[in-house]
Amino acid sequence: MARARKASSSPVSAGNPCPFLRALVAQGLLADGVEPLGKVTSTIVAVARTGEGSPALPAAAIWAIALIAHGLNPLTMARTKREGLRLSGLRDGPLDKHGAGSGILDANGRVVARELARLDEFASEQIGSSGQSERGLTLAQIRRYMDANFERAEGRRRALDRKLMDGEWPVLLKVMGRDGSGGRYLSVADVRTLVVDRELPKRMTQALAATV
Give the pLDDT of the chain (212 residues) as one tens digit per residue: 444 444 346 899 999 999 999 999 999 999 999 999 999 999 999 999 999 999 999 999 999 999 999 999 999 999 999 999 999 999 989 888 887 889 999 989 999 999 999 999 999 999 988 888 999 999 999 999 999 999 998 988 888 899 999 989 999 999 999 999 889 999 999 999 999 999 999 999 999 888 76
Tell me the helix, strand and coil percentages in the chain, rounded to 5. 50, 10, 40
Do the domain assignments include residue 7?
A: no
In angstroms, the CA 187 to CA 125 distance is: 10
Q: What's the domain range around 167?
A: 13-210
Task: Give the per-residue pLDDT at 159.
Answer: 86
- Indicate the number of domains in the chain: 1
pLDDT tens track for 18-51? 999 999 999 999 999 999 999 999 999 999 999 9
- Dihedral of the alpha carbons of 27, 9, 110, 94, in degrees to the nearest 10: -50
Do the domain assignments include residue 6?
A: no
Do the domain assignments include residue 1?
A: no
In angstroms, the CA 97 to CA 157 distance is: 8
Do the domain assignments include residue 98?
A: yes
